[in-house]
Chain A
Amino acid sequence: MSSETETVPELHFAAGLPGFPDARRFALVYWGDDTDSAFSILTSLEQDGLEFLVVPPVMFFPLYAPEIDDATVERLGIETADDALLLVIVNVPGDDPSKATANLLAPIVVNRHTREAVQAVLADGEYEIHAPLLQD
C-alpha cells in the first residue's frame, strides 16, 4: 500500500455501482479537505473523472432509519451497527444547486473496518430516490 491509500480512505464496491459496473474502487475525501464538512466526494480510482457527492444522511435526514437486508449485512461482514458507515449519493443540478436531491432509496453501506461497500436497495415504498436535500 502506498502512503496515499493510508491517508485517503479507499472504498471497494465488489459489485460496482449500479450504472457503473466497472467502477469498483473509490477514494472518499471530505469536501475542501475539511473534516467538519457535511459533504464528501467519492472519486473513482478507475474511471477518470467519475465522481459523486455523498453525505451522511443523518446530517440532513435525522429520521432516516433504513433497514439494510441481511444479505448485504452478511456480505459486508457487518456485525454491529457501529461497523457500518452510511452514505447517500446527492444529485446536484449544475443550473440550480438548491434543487439537490439525495438518493434515500439506495444508500451506500460501508464496513468501516474493511472498507467494503455496497449500494443497497431498500424495500420499495419506504424512501425516495430523489429526496430534496434542502428545505424550501
Chain B
Amino acid sequence: VLVLTRRPNQSIVIGGGEIVVTVLEVRGDQIRLGIKAPRDVDVHRDEVWAELQKANRAAALTDRSAVGQLDRLRRERPPGPSSS
C-alpha cells in the first residue's frame, strides 16, 4: 500500500490525472474527501459497496418456483403499507 501524507486542500492524482482526491477538511476523527473522477468511474463508500455486492449475490434467483409463490401471495394481500 502506498502511503502519502496530505494536508487539507492538498490532493492526490490517480491515473493520468483523471482521478483527483482532495482532502477538504479534517475534523476530529472524520476526514472529508472530494473526489473528481470521470463519470464512468463509480465511487462508493467501501462498506456500502460491500453491502450492495452482498445483497446482489444473495438476490440471484436460485429457485423460480419461489417467484410463483410470491406472485400468488401478492394477489392475496394488499401491496405496500403506503398505498390505497
Contact = CB atoms under 8 A, between A and B. Distances in A.
Contact of B78 (A17, A19, A38, A135): A135
Interface string A45-81: 0000011110000011111000000010011000000
Contacts of B67: 31, 39, 41, 53, 92, 97
A94 B62 CA distance: 8
Nearest to B62: A94
B55 interface: yes
Interface residues of B, number: 35
Contacts of B55: 19, 89, 91, 103, 106, 129-130
B30 interface: no
Interface centre among A39, A89, A93, A97 (most CB of B within 10 A): A97
Contacts of A134: 70, 73-74, 77, 79
B79 A97 contact: no
Given A31-B71, A61-B80, A62-B80, A18 B53 contact: yes
B80 A20 contact: no
Given A71-B39, A75-B39, A92-B61, A38 B74 contact: yes
Interface string A93-136: 11001101001011000000000000101001000011001110
A37 to B, nearest CB: 7
B52 interface: yes
A93 B39 CA distance: 35
B56 A98 contact: no
Interface of B: 39-40, 42, 44-45, 48-49, 51-64, 66-67, 69-71, 73-74, 77-83
Given A53-B70, A119-B52, 6 more contacts: A20-B57, A31-B71, A41-B61, A97-B73, A98-B70, A106-B52
Interface of A: 14-15, 17-20, 31-32, 37-39, 41, 50-53, 59-63, 71, 74-75, 89-94, 97-98, 100, 103, 105-106, 119, 121, 124, 129-130, 133-135
- What 4 pairs across the A-B complex have the smallest Cβ distances? A19-B53, A19-B56, A91-B59, A97-B70
